[in-house]
Amino acid sequence: MNVLNFINSFFSDNAHWQGYDGIPTRVGEHIEYTLMALGIAAAVGLPIGLVTGHTGRGGNALALIATSARALPSFGLMVLMFILLGLGMAPVMIPLVVLAVPPILVTTYEAMRSVDPAPVDAARGMGMAETAVLFRVELPVALPLILSGLRSAAIQIVSTATIAAYVSFGGLGRYIIDGLYQRNYEKVVGGATLVAAMALATLGLFWALGRLAVSPGVRRRH
């Protein structure tokens, strides 16, 4: 049987569409983990990136932290956290957040640094308050790049959130891990396909968000 047959039989099996191990439930759980991890990572990465980018200070320290964080293997980190903290959501969230913060932080910093300094100078010169300079002059122009950082973070979370299943949580990782144990490759391929589809859906979502939130005067440039 080839992969397409696996996919076909996985999705055409009615049993896969209902119950606590059904596709809607697992997709729902996966979305929940993703949103939670992305929310925490954004809450950490965005403010730090915005402020350091605006002031231009701390760029080197950021790069160092981001590079070290990227070097941590998510799976290993989760197992370590599981041993340290025991069963719970935290051992799952910590590696996902560690994974997602660097792209958000670094691109936000870079996005703010790459804003043309002339309008910023003009804004200060006409007496705009510093917070208004940040939110009304720099942020709207930096937005496309910031969104691209959030997008890559989201996609990485979507694919990595499968590890939650290792520590007995749900999500789409359930199909992959259970499928491997049960030698049910139909399940493995089906779960992987769903993860890929969610990653694509995330791309589409961010594209729509960009259309909605970025000014036409800025969008043209990117």
Residues that bind another protein in the complex, under the rule CB under 8 A? 116, 118-129, 132, 137, 140-141, 214-218, 220-221
Residues 6+ apart with CB under 8 A from 130: 124
Nearer to another protein, 119 or 204 (CB): 119
CB of 118 to another protein, least distance (A): 4
Nearer to another protein, 81 or 214 (CB): 214
* C-alpha span between 160 and 172 (Å, rounded): 10
Closest C-alpha among 51, 140, 145, 32 to residue 96: 32
CB of 123 to another protein, least distance (A): 7
CB of 46 to another protein, least distance (A): 18
How is residue 104 written in tokens?
A: 């958000």
Question: Which is it for the CA torsion 121, 126, 127, 130, positive or negative?
Answer: negative
Nearer to another protein, 15 or 126 (CB): 126
Nearer to another protein, 70 or 219 (CB): 219
CB of 217 to another protein, least distance (A): 3
| Kind and range of the H or E run holding 2 | none
* C-alpha span between 4 and 190 (Å, rounded): 10
